[in-house]
Amino acid sequence: MKEMIKQLTELHVGKVKENEPLANHTTIKIGGPADLLIEPSSVENLETVMKLIKEYNVKWTAIGRGSNLLVSDKGIEGVVIKLGAGIDLLEVNGTEVTVGGGYSLITLATIISRKGLTGLEFAGGIPGSVGGAVYMNAGAHGSDISQILTKAYVLLEDGTMQWLTKDEMEFSYRTSVLQKKRPGIVVEAVFQLYEGDKDSIVGKMQQNKDYRKETQPWNFPCAGSIFRNPLPNYAGKLIEVAGLKGHSIGGAKISEMHGNFIVNAGNAKAQDVLDLIQFVKDTIYELYEIKMETEVEIIGRK
C-alpha cells in the first residue's frame, strides 16, 4: 500500500488520506476509518486510481456524499473512492442533461427546475450525489431515476469504462445492476427531461422539499430511509403503529418524526444502529409476519 500511496501522491490524482474516519463523510456521522480515502480531482485521475488499484490488487469501495450509507465501526478495508469535486460536470443540451456522478442531486434538481425542465421534481429533497442516486435508483413522490435516465457512464470493477443503457442498468425498486451483478461507479449520467411550465415545476419541487422538512428529521444526523417499503405496506407506518417511534439503543434512536428514520442522537456507533435495525425487523415480523429489508447500504469490516 505504501508504494501505491507514493505513486498516487506523485501523480497528483486528488486528495489522498490514510486512516480517514468515514464518520466525516457520511450524513449519519458514523463510520470507522478507511485504510485509504481518495477523492479524484477529475475523471482521468479516477481512471488512474483504478489502474493502480488493479495493479496492486487492492480492494475498493465507492461512496458519494455519504447519504443512505452505514459504515462499520471497524471501517473499510482497502481504498475508498469518494466522488465529488472534479466528477461534477453539468451540461444541458435542450431537454437532455449530462451530469457527473459527484454532482449534488438536490442542486441539480434546483437548477433544472429553474430552466423550466420537468422530470426531476421528485429529487428536490433527496440528499446525496447523482452517482449514488443512479446506483440505487433513488426515488420519491411516485417517481425515480429509472423514469428519466437514458444511459450511465460506469467505471467497472476491472477498471474499464462503459456506457450502460437504461435497460442494461436493470432498474427495480431502489436497485440497479451495479449493486450486485456488475459492481461499478457511476461517473456520468444522461437524463431525458421535458419542457414544462417553469413556475409550476419550481412550485412542485419546493412543495416536495417542504414536505421532507416537515416529515423527516434532517435536523439530526441520519442516513435517510432505513427500510424498503414492503409494498403495499409502508415501513414508516408499520414502525409507527408498532409503537417503536422514539425507541433507542445506545446513541441510535428511531425518529419521533418518521418511523423509517434512525437518527444519531449522540455519539451513536454503527453497532447501535445495526442492533436497532434488528430490533425493528424482529418486532415487525412478530406482529405482522412481514420481513423488513434494509434500504440503507451497510458496508465495511464485520
Model confidence pLDDT, tens digit, residues 48-85: 999 999 999 999 999 998 999 999 999 999 999 999 88
- All domains of the chain, ordered by start, with CATH? 2-82 (3.30.43.10), 90-200 (3.30.465.10), 217-299 (3.90.78.10)
Query: Is the confidence at residue 294, as pLDDT, over 90?
Result: yes
Whose CA is closest to 64, among 27, 16, 97? 27
Average of pLDDT values for 150-177? Answer: 92
The pLDDT, as a whole number, for residue 211 is 85
d(CA 276, CA 284): 12
Q: Which of 20, 121, 188, 295 is catalytic?
A: 295
Alpha helix locations (H) across 115-181?
130-136
**Residue 174 a catalytic site member:** yes
Q: Which of 72, 174, 176, 188 is catalytic?
A: 174
**pLDDT tens profile 200-239:** 999 988 888 888 888 899 889 999 999 999 999 999 999 9
The pLDDT, as a whole number, for residue 181 is 86
Q: Which three cell numbers stand for residue 270?
A: 454503527
d(CA 239, CA 292): 10
**pLDDT tens profile 31-42:** 999 999 999 999
Sorting pLDDT into bands at 50, 70 and 90, what band is 105? Answer: very high
Task: Count the Cβ atoms, other than its own, within 10 Å of residue 15.
Answer: 14
Query: Is the confidence at residue 271, as pLDDT, over 90?
Result: yes
d(CA 76, CA 95): 40
What is the chain's percent helix, strand, coil content, to nearest 5? 30, 30, 40
HSE, side-chain direction, 13 A CA sphere, residue 81: 34
HSE, side-chain direction, 13 A CA sphere, residue 119: 19
The pLDDT, as a whole number, for residue 1 is 86
More confident residue, 27 or 155: 27
**Residue 225 a catalytic site member:** yes
